[in-house]
């Protein structure tokens, strides 16, 4: 019987974390899955950590993972994935922009042979039940073009916060991850391609949440610089490790 790990990066999520944990507990129990839920607290200044501890006392499958201060979403996902013990590990945003019912689509993709299955908002845009503001859509399309040109990533959507990994794939990719903030998604996909892992993009239901903390202009510049860092790390050999081809093989 397969086991599952659900990783939730959380920063000041005291308002949203209760309904999110309620939904995850309800859904995993309904599916009769052997599952753990790891909430990674990214140095929250509110009572996010205390709420998770309270849930953990009532539900042992809910675990709190603490970051050493505020390190960013990328660090949080990596920290959670490296603590995960499930055969299949999925990370999702704390707002559940993609509902948990969509997880089975990613798991089915892995069952068919994918090493990594990534949720996509743009393969079937009609599945977006609430679209992002236009300026964010434009930013997303420009960033997608940058990734195609600089990193050779030909996915419709790299940034959807809904991705599942075979545990062995996660254990190969995340120890090499260097980007700790918003630009980590293209980095892990770039590393997956270098490692020869099969990545399948899966259209999922998704709804924009007004609570998102991504600032498209300030963080957009940071993400562009992080993409250049990924390319530099590849060229300088920083990603070279057992099982990962050298830069000369790109």
Tell me the pLDDT tens digit for each residue of 23-60.
Answer: 999 999 999 999 999 999 999 999 999 999 999 999 99
pLDDT at 246 over 60: no
Rounded to 5 degrees, φ, ψ at 61 are: -75, -10
pLDDT band with cut points at 50, 70 and 90 for residue 245: very low
Domain housing 153? 3-249
Tell me the pLDDT tens digit for each residue of 222-236.
Answer: 888 999 999 999 999
pLDDT band with cut points at 50, 70 and 90 for residue 201: very high
pLDDT score for 236: 92
Instruction: Give, rounded to a whole angstrom, the gap between the first and last alpha carbons of the chain.
Output: 37
CATH of the domain at 229: 3.90.550.10
Which residues of the chain form beta strands (DSSP E)? 3-10, 34-41, 62-66, 88-92, 116-120, 128-130, 162-166, 199-203, 206-207
Tell me the pLDDT tens digit for each residue of 123-151.
Answer: 776 676 666 666 667 777 888 899 999 99
- Is residue 168 helix, strand or coil? helix
Closest C-alpha to 94, from 39, 148, 139: 39
Contact in structure between 195 and 117 (CB atoms under 8 Å): no
Domain count, the chain: 1
pTM: 0.88
Tell me the pLDDT tens digit for each residue of 148-160.
Answer: 999 999 999 999 9
pLDDT score for 249: 36
């Amino acid at each position: 019987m397969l086991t599952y790990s659900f990783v939730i990066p959380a920063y000041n999520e005291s308002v949203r974390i209760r309904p999110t944990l309620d939904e995850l507990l309800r859904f995993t129990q309904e599916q009769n899955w052997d599952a753990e839920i790891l909430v990674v607290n990214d140095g929250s200044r509110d009572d996010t950590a205390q709420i998770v501890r309270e849930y953990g006392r009532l539900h042992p499958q809910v675990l709190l993972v603490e970051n050493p201060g505020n390190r960013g979403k990328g660090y949080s996902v990596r920290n959670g994935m490296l603590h995960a013990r499930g055969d299949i590990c999925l990370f999702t945003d704390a707002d559940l922009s993609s509902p948990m019912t969509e997880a089975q689509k990613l798991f089915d993709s892995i069952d068919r042979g994918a090493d990594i299955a990534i949720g996509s908002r743009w393969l079937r845009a009609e599945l977006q039940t609430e679209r992002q503001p236009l300026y964010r859509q434009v930013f997303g399309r420009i960033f997608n073009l940058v990734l195609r040109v600089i990193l050779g990533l030909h996915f419709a959507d790299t940034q959807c916060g809904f991705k599942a990994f075979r545990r062995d794939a996660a254990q190969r990719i995340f120890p090499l991850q260097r980007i700790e903030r918003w630009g980590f998604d293209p980095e892990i996909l770039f590393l997956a391609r270098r490692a020869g892992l099969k990545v399948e993009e899966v259209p999922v239901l998704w709804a924009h949440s007004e609570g998102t903390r991504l600032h498209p202009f300030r963080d957009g510049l940071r993400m562009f610089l992080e993409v250049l860092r990924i390319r530099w790390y590849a060229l300088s050999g920083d990603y070279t490790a057992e099982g990962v081809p050298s830069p000369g093989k790109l």
